[in-house]
Amino acid sequence: MQIQFNELTPELFLKKYWQKQPLIIKNAFKEFTDPIDANELAGLAMEEFIESRIVSCHNDTWDVKHGPFEDFSEFGDANWTLLVQAVNNWFAGVNQLIEPFTFIPNWRIDDVMVSFSTPGGGVGPHLDQYDVFIIQGEGKRRWRVGNPDASLQQLLPHEDLKQVSDFKAVIDEITEPGDLLYIPPNHPHDGVAIDHSVNYSVGFQAPNPQELISGLADYLIDNQLLEDRFDDSQRKTTSAPNILADDDVTLLQQVMQTAISDKHVLQDFLGKQLTQVHHTLNLLVPTEELTWTVIESIFSEGETLQPVLGLKCLLINENDHQAMYANGEAFALDEDTLALAHKLTSKHPLTSDDLESSFDCLKNTQLLTSLINKGLWTFE
């Protein structure tokens, strides 16, 4: 599945549009077929471990209800939207919608949210702090997208909504199946369903400094790193003990900067932080731990190995730091296991023929055995 960019290459898209201006591509996906239908989406919204909500508006009053849901009849025939997070963790066809956007690094991609709207359904004009590609599935929706505008007012129609006042649209289009809309961060937008409509939102994670610094602090504590007190051996007398001097601020700033100046520490932290999945994964942990002998026999039967849906994994390949990260966990590598890790983190299905060259190395078979027994990779 590929985007029909026509003359707009991924390189040109990144240069001209990415985090700069919104874009709509009509018929971006030829003969688009929905990988999930409304009934299947409703079934997911009935599960406790899946994040879902219904946004409705009747008589100019907005309401938000959070799942799981047992019945949808109370919402009527119009003016409501069901939104389900991380559907790519449960439906392979939805997970494949990420593939066209892999010209952007995997760690930036968060999940695929799927929404089903009745006529008139939407969530109101609002802003998001992240990039999103929206693929139109079944039905039609009118989309209005504006440019960042500091004069927009935050509205409070409901505590769970982040709606803003009306805005001047630079895109005002009706999307049909296969159309693609890109919305950069902080661009106001509003989508209203014209008929029963399904949308697929490929969202991107963009950690802010608060999240990164907080996560790094937790990482240092968990790993008992950088516990030594700062060096104050060059202290000079002061005539103003009640003043926090610039020299002391600089000294303490240097202490804190030490945490990010150690490249190995930072790489390991980021590898774990950026592969954490924010929604439930369907980890397929074997009921009994498998030995390599059993795993090899499964391969010999022609079974295909693949990562569980929605898994986040990364590879760091530096001279002094080689590691694979999956689901927030680190797996040490060396020259013997690096080629295998490249194949695994590509997240493509792997047969015994694909992996045959890895089977003669004990380190490789140990890595495969560990990943399979953790439920991170599984047989089709």
Q: What is the pLDDT of residue 365?
A: 96
CA–CA distance, 142 with 59 (Å, rounded to integer): 20
**Low-confidence residues in the chain, pLDDT < 50:** none
CA–CA distance, 197 with 178 (Å, rounded to integer): 12
Q: What is the pLDDT of residue 156?
A: 86
CA–CA distance, 359 with 363 (Å, rounded to integer): 9
Q: What is the pLDDT of residue 6?
A: 64
DSSP label at residue 328: T
Strand locations in the chain (E): 23-25, 52-58, 61-66, 80-84, 109-117, 132-136, 141-146, 169-175, 180-183, 189-193, 197-204, 305-307, 313-318, 321-326, 329-332, 377-379
Cβ-based burial of 189 (10 A; exposed 0-12, middle 13-18, buried ≥19):
buried
Close Cβ partners of 373 (under 8 Å, ≥ 6 residues apart): 285, 286, 289, 290
Cis amide leading into 148 (omega within 30): no
The predicted model scores a pTM of: 0.92
Q: What is the pLDDT of residue 319?
A: 79
CB-hemisphere CA count at 13 Å for 38?
A: 12
CA–centroid distance for 353 within its chain: 31
Please state, in angstroms and as integers, the Cα–Cα distance from residue 43 to each residue in 207, 259, 335, following that order: 31, 46, 46
Where helices occur in 74-158 by DSSP H, the ranges are 92-95
Close Cβ partners of 59 (under 8 Å, ≥ 6 residues apart): none
Close Cβ partners of 333 (under 8 Å, ≥ 6 residues apart): 317, 322, 323, 324, 341
CA–CA distance, 362 with 296 (Å, rounded to integer): 13
Residue type, 4: Q
Torsion, Cα of 359, 361, 365, 367 (10° steps): -130
DSSP label at residue 242: T
Q: Tokens 């440019």 label which residue? A: 147
Phi, psi values for residue 12, rounded to 5°: -70, -35
Among 361, 363, 339, smallest CA distance to 350 is for: 339
> For 294-301, which contacts have Cβ atoms below 8 Å and span 24 or more sequence positions?
295/365, 295/368, 295/369, 295/372, 296/359, 296/365, 298/379, 299/351, 299/352, 299/355, 300/352
